[in-house]
Amino acid sequence: MQITRAAEYGVLGLTALARRPLGEVVMIDTLCAEEDIPRSFLGKILQSLNRAGIVRSARGSGGGFCLAKEPSEISALEIIEAIEGPISLQRCLDEDLGCEHSTGCALCSLLAVAQDRVKDVFRTTSLSDLTGRHIPNGLVRQARDRHRESESTPPVEAADTVTSTWTIN
Amino acid sequence: MQITRAAEYGVLGLTALARRPLGEVVMIDTLCAEEDIPRSFLGKILQSLNRAGIVRSARGSGGGFCLAKEPSEISALEIIEAIEGPISLQRCLDEDLGCEHSTGCALCSLLAVAQDRVKDVFRTTSLSDLTGRHIPNGLVRQARDRHRESESTPPVEAADTVTSTWTIN
DNA sequence: CTCAAACCGGACTGAAATGATCCGGAAAAG
DNA sequence: CTTTTCCGGATCATTTCAGTCCGGTTTGAG
Ligand code: FES
Ligand code: FES
């Protein structure tokens, strides 16, 4: 009943991309450093997102990844399903072969409803909804390190001034 | 992102109990036959449900299980959480230690909303809601077998129609 | 043209969760 | 005292998860 780490990392990695101007190409290493994600794992995940048309990749020197569309055009559902495959709360809801338990199964009906609710939440949340309020620890640490390194440089805007609360209508 | 088989079997087993008058004691074997569930697995699951106060067990000959409350008083959420533990769509929502990613994490907020929706659906569905339209394959097969048998042999007093007359206090 | 930078993608691995079984033990009925 | 039935801990096989590795391919710079 849990989202996988791959999906978690995927969403987080994309917020890092979405924090930049659309089209800016960023290397995996940069994204990993910002979001504290194992590098080779994020590589794999970005491959899936590339195949799904959510990011675009560029090889060779100067290469990396950028978003393929506006963050507001990318739903959390797209992202998660690109990584984990279709969301399904139960094997019987997987759209291929029915279950052995019963023809008009009450359990399946219940789980189908729950599954729809989840997908609704994910579908109606875009990447841009996720980007604003999220300040990854990786970035915070980088800012701190920069500050400690040269006392002359003023610190970046404090992370804890962000106070927005979550609402989904 | 899936419910476990244990939870699935648990709900199904309880619908089998709920199909009977409250307080009727049924053996594991009977439930397994009706719902097509591996016997020793259902045994384990019923232990959890017993500890959670959803069913009551009776040992010794004539023993078995019965519901501890009215089916309308048992929510799907209760059942599932008794078996799987608290529902959580992500480790950061597990109510103990926060996550390493970020203090005001957007992903967690999103998943918290989705999780609430799921729990709402489960909470507002009772066992009696599930019982009505569910006709397990096990029962269907038993009916078919009885019918086929009675074509060749005179009808015998069906053993499984005998209802015990006592209840667990 | 050559080389280094960067992603591609399949094979692989260790660890954990899942699905299920087994068996000795305890309680209740007869 | 014996049978029946559940208890509960140990055990086990399989699958999934989380993550790594490495040779291959593409690209750009010099
Ligand atoms: S049909 Fe498979 S559990 Fe409902
Ligand atoms: S704090 Fe853990 S993913 Fe949000």
Interface check A36 vs B, CB under 8 A:
yes
Grade residue A112 by pLDDT with cuts at 50, 70 and 90.
very high
The tens digit of pLDDT for each residue in B59-79 reads 999 999 999 999 999 999 999
Which one of B84, B90, B107, B129 makes the best mutation probe of the A interface by having the most chain A beta carbons within 10 Å?
B107
Interface check A58 vs B, CB under 8 A:
no
Confidence (pLDDT) at B144: 74
The tens digit of pLDDT for each residue in B117-167 reads 999 999 999 999 998 766 677 667 777 776 766 666 554 443 333 333 334
Any strand D atom closer than 7 Å to B63 CB: yes
Interface check B167 vs A, CB under 8 A:
no
User: HSE (CB half, 13 Å, CA atoms) of A82?
Assistant: 25
Q: Output the pTM of the full model.
A: 0.84
Mind spelling out the 3-state secondary structure of chain B?
Answer: CCCCHHHHHHHHHHHHHHCCCCCCCECHHHHHHHHCCCHHHHHHHHHHHHHCCCEEEECCCCCEEEECCCHHHCEHHHHHHHHHCCCCCCHHHCCCCCCCCECCCHHHHHHHHHHHHHHHHHHCCEHHHHHCCCCEHHHHHHHHHHHHHHHHCCCCCCHHHCCCCCCCC
Check pLDDT > 60 for residue A168.
Answer: no
Give the C-alpha separation, B38 to A100, whole Å: 13
Query: Six-digit token pair at A78?
Result: 């797209």
Nearest CA to CA, how far is A53 from chain B (Å)? 21
Whether B106 sits inside 8 A of A162 (CB atoms) is no
Give the C-alpha separation, A44 to A50, whole Å: 10
The tens digit of pLDDT for each residue in A63-80 reads 999 999 999 999 999 999
Query: Six-digit token pair at A135?
Result: 């300040």
Domains of chain A and CATH, by start: 5-86+126-138 (1.10.10.10)
